[in-house]
Structure 1
Amino acid sequence: MVDIISRRDGPRREDVAARRLISENSATIRKLADNLSGGGYSAGLTRPKVPKAPEASGLITHDLKAPRAKDEAKPFIRISVNNRVVMADMNSGRQLEFLGEIRREGGQRHFRLARKQNGFFSEMDEELSAALADLDGVMVGGSYPEKSLAADIGARLGLT
């Protein structure tokens, strides 16, 4: 029931005493376990064990199905709930490029490109940065909603 491992040859006196105490009181221990688990302990002992799946022992398995064709990336501009502006793949939903974020400055929301001078650690690609340079700092909200910002970014990057 309990295996106690020690570094010495043979069991220690304390281990022998503990094992004897457990074996002598096993009926009481089972009653307590059933009482605490609502009978689940004994039910678990009588339930047949589920056999394990066979393990491959030194065998090499091959999947003979054709490899899944990777779809061409279909990029779109997504503005998330936490104001991150990213270029994502329509097919997989994965982020392709982080473009920037919408920040609240002086009570107004402004779009900031992912550049070091805007406080970002890693900058975006130079081509993307040049294409979107005039949108850096543009005020978002009111007459220029997030959808318009996403459409303008998509148009400048040739996504629409």
Structure 2
Amino acid sequence: MVEIFSKHDGPRREDAQVRRLLQQNRGVITQLADQFSGGRYSESKKPKQLPQAEGLIIHIGGSAKPAPEPEPKIRLTTNGRVIAVDVPSGRQLQHFGDIRDRRGLKIFVLATTANGFIAPLDEAKTEALADIDGVVLGPSYSGADLATDIGLRLDIPPET
């Protein structure tokens, strides 16, 4: 034997009873909710006032003053990179190359595609620094001398 249950219109009898019970006891439920939440339940149900634009300062993007001109300096980092940095912000502006250790000698490798760099120097800077590519650093020609030499060729002072 098969029984067919069909969905009838309107809410179920149990749902209607629970809804009626909640409506009849709304005051008690609200009072208990306020007691448990320290009054925040009723406070959250009140309509909130929208912020008024009167007297507010509205700032729409951009800066009020132009960005300062960068102050570049040549720096040799502790991991052997030779870079130009902006002194006020400390941000890297340009990467000139690396000081690498080859067979016990410290050699400056210019940042070019031929030397395997992904972001090579532009053509003008490569031409200006081409003759110091592969120079050996030692007691007679130190890293500070290299930074001064690069700075003189590109008109950027070395970092002191």
Q: TM-score, normalised by structure 1?
A: 0.58
Structure 1 residue aligned with 2:28: none
Runs of 4+ in 1 over 4 A off after TM superposition: none
Q: Higher relative CO (CA 8 A, sep ≥ 6), structure 1 or 2?
A: 2
Task: Please report the RMSD computed on the Cα atoms of aligned residues, expressed in angstroms.
Answer: 2.6
What residue ranges of structure 1 are gaps of 5+ in the alignment?
1-55
* Residue number among 62, 69, 74 corresponding to 1:72 in the alignment: 69
Q: Does 1:158 align with 2:155?
A: yes
Q: Is the 8 A contact 1:86 1:97 kept in 2?
A: yes
Structure 1 counterpart of 2:90: 93
Q: Which residue number in structure 2 is paired with residue 82 of structure 1?
A: 79
Q: Does 1:117 align with 2:114?
A: yes
2-structure distance, mates of 1:107, 1:97: 27
Aligned residue pairs total 104
Alignment check: 8 A CA contact 1:113 1:136 kept:
yes
- Report SS of the residue matched to 1:120: coil
How much has 1:61 moved relative to structure 2?
6.7
Distance 2:88 2:143 in 1: 22
Q: Which residue of 1 aligns with 2:130?
A: 133
Single out whichever of 141-150 and 66-75 deviates more from structure 2.
66-75
Q: Aligned to 1:149, what secondary structure does the other structure show?
A: helix
How much does 1:63 deviate?
A: 2.9
Structure 2 counterpart of 1:143 = 140
Does the CA contact (< 8 Å) of 1:77 and 1:150 recur in 2?
yes
User: Displacement, 1:120?
Assistant: 1.1
Deviation for aligned residue 1:67: 1.4
Unaligned runs of 5+ in 2: 1-49
Q: How far 1:90 sits from its partner (Å)?
A: 1.4
Say if 1:71 and 1:91, in contact at 8 Å, map to a contact too. Answer: no
**Is structure 2 residue 100 aligned with structure 1 residue 103?**
yes
Once residues 126 and 88 of structure 2 are traced to their aligned partners in structure 1, the CA distance between those partners, rounded to angstroms, is: 25
Larger CA Rg, structure 1 vs 2: 2
* TM-score when normalising by structure 2: 0.58
Q: Which secondary structure does the structure 2 equivalent of 1:153 belong to?
A: helix
Find the aligned partners of 1:82 and 1:61 in 2 and give their Cα distance: 47
